[in-house]
Amino acid sequence: MVLCTVPFQVTARNIAKVLGLPDYPFLSVQHPIGSCTLPELKARAEIAYRQALPILLQG
Binding positions for another protein, rule: CB under 8 A: 1-5, 7-8, 10-12, 14-15, 18-21, 24, 27, 31-36, 38, 41-42, 44-46, 48-49, 52-53, 56-59
Handedness of CA 57, 10, 12, 33 (dihedral sign): negative
- CB 56 to another protein: min, Å: 5
For residue 15, give the 3-state DSSP assignment.
helix
Helix (H, G, I), strand (E, B) or coil at 28: strand
Residue 5 C-beta: closest distance to another protein, Å: 4
Residue 29: phi, psi to the nearest 5? -125, 165
- Name the minimum Å distance from CB 23 to another protein: 9
